Amino acid sequence: MNEINAHLAKEIMADRAREAEEQHSRARMIRAASSAHASYAKPVRRQGWKGAFKSGSSWPQNRKLTSSWVCLSIGAAAGTLAFLHSASDYVADNSPRWFVLTGVAVAVIARLSARTTGQRYAGLLIATVLLLPSACTLLLLHVLRAVGAIPFPVDLISASASIGAAIMLLSLWILPNPLRPPRDLRVSVPRWVPVVGITASLVYPTLKALWAFGTDVAAPPGTVGVVDATFTATVAVSLAAVPALPIAMRWWDRPAPRWMRSAALIGGLVLLSLGVSGLWGVARSPAGDPATGLLVYGGWLVWGTAILATAGRLSPTPSTRRA
């Protein structure tokens, strides 16, 4: 009987020893986990405190993100310069002085506060429309004046502001930033949008053809019966654009060549810039025939918008849903 009691006592003692060892093991694991969590949370908090870069991003990516902020600063300086400078008439007729600074403000607000993809792209497009007249239309006029193609002096301060606006606009579309659309983005666009773009592209050359052949339909002074380089250029551009949009529709539901989206974006942005600048000029000087200006520049605006929408539809990746 004593031997049985001694054996039971040994088993009880062994069970208690195993329980004590398990408790010590669990305590050591909890302390180790707490220590690891504290050492991990500290650099994470430090990185979140900095706030400029994403966690785990590489040095080249951080450098590009820094470059995008530098370009925003250049755009802000250009906008301030354009706002404070008393520009020449040809500058004021194509872009209001507050456009660039407002575009910078829209881009910064969208970059810091936009939460959804739609909000980010809306900010990008609004900032683009505001920057385009200075970054595209005026920059082209500055270059033409600088090389002597337009025999008038160039406004150097406004030219500097246009260069800054162009740098910022390119950074929004090229450098990594929250507003830049992904390369595989495909926007749901109905097929009638390119048809509207083709119709809009024919408005100006049709009017130019009527004026050239002597028909006075809303013709500005000195344009009836005139066949000049402007007439030839506008007709040639439209004749090239009319087949371009139907050709693009070939890739409506299939992967498109990568260069096609870039070409469509550039062409659409240029036309959008000319349309916005022209409509601003009509609003600034409505004493002539505003209906003609609305037809011409409004047609360019619709044409450019249709091309941009078509560019959004084209994608190098296969479509998952037919329009």
Looking at the fold, whether 198 and 131 belong to one and the same domain comes out as no
Q: Determine the residue type at 56.
A: G
Looking at the fold, whether 158 and 212 belong to one and the same domain comes out as no
How many other CB atoms are found less than 10 A from the CB of residue 25? 10
Looking at the fold, whether 82 and 119 belong to one and the same domain comes out as yes
- The encoded tokens of residue 253 equal 């539901």
Domain boundary among 174, 202, 225: 174
Quick check: is 129 in a domain? yes
Question: Can you tell me the distance from the alpha carbon of 173 to that of 124, in angstroms, rounded to the nearest whole number?
Answer: 8
Looking at the fold, whether 300 and 203 belong to one and the same domain comes out as yes
Q: Determine the residue type at 277.
A: S
Looking at the fold, whether 216 and 153 belong to one and the same domain comes out as no
CB within 8 Å of 289: residues ≥ 6 apart: 218, 220
- 3-class DSSP assignment, residue 210: helix
Quick check: is 107 in a domain? yes
Quick check: is 46 in a domain? no
Quick check: 175 and 75 in contact, CB under 8 A? no
Looking at the fold, whether 169 and 80 belong to one and the same domain comes out as yes
Looking at the fold, whether 107 and 198 belong to one and the same domain comes out as no
Quick check: is 53 in a domain? no
Query: What's CA 143's distance to the chain center, in Å?
Result: 24
Looking at the fold, whether 90 and 134 belong to one and the same domain comes out as yes
- Number of structural domains, the chain? 3
Full pLDDT tens readout for the chain, 323 residues = 555 556 556 666 666 666 667 676 666 666 665 555 444 444 433 333 344 444 445 555 567 678 888 888 999 999 999 999 888 888 888 888 899 999 999 999 988 888 887 788 888 889 999 999 999 889 988 998 888 888 888 899 999 999 999 999 988 888 777 777 776 667 777 888 888 888 888 888 888 778 777 777 767 776 677 766 666 776 777 777 777 777 777 777 777 787 887 888 888 888 888 888 888 888 887 656 677 788 888 888 898 888 888 887 777 666 554 44
Quick check: is 186 in a domain? no
Quick check: 301 and 232 in contact, CB under 8 A? no
Looking at the fold, whether 63 and 137 belong to one and the same domain comes out as yes
Between helix 290-313 and helix 203-212 the angle, nearest 10°, is 140
Looking at the fold, whether 109 and 137 belong to one and the same domain comes out as yes
- 3-class DSSP assignment, residue 199: helix
CB within 8 Å of 245: residues ≥ 6 apart: 194, 197, 198, 306, 307, 310
Q: Which domain holds residue 30?
A: 1-39
Looking at the fold, whether 201 and 164 belong to one and the same domain comes out as no
Question: Can you tell me the distance from the alpha carbon of 302 to that of 199, in angstroms, rounded to the nearest whole number?
Answer: 9
Quick check: is 44 in a domain? no
Q: Determine the residue type at 140.
A: L
Looking at the fold, whether 170 and 202 belong to one and the same domain comes out as no
Quick check: is 179 in a domain? no
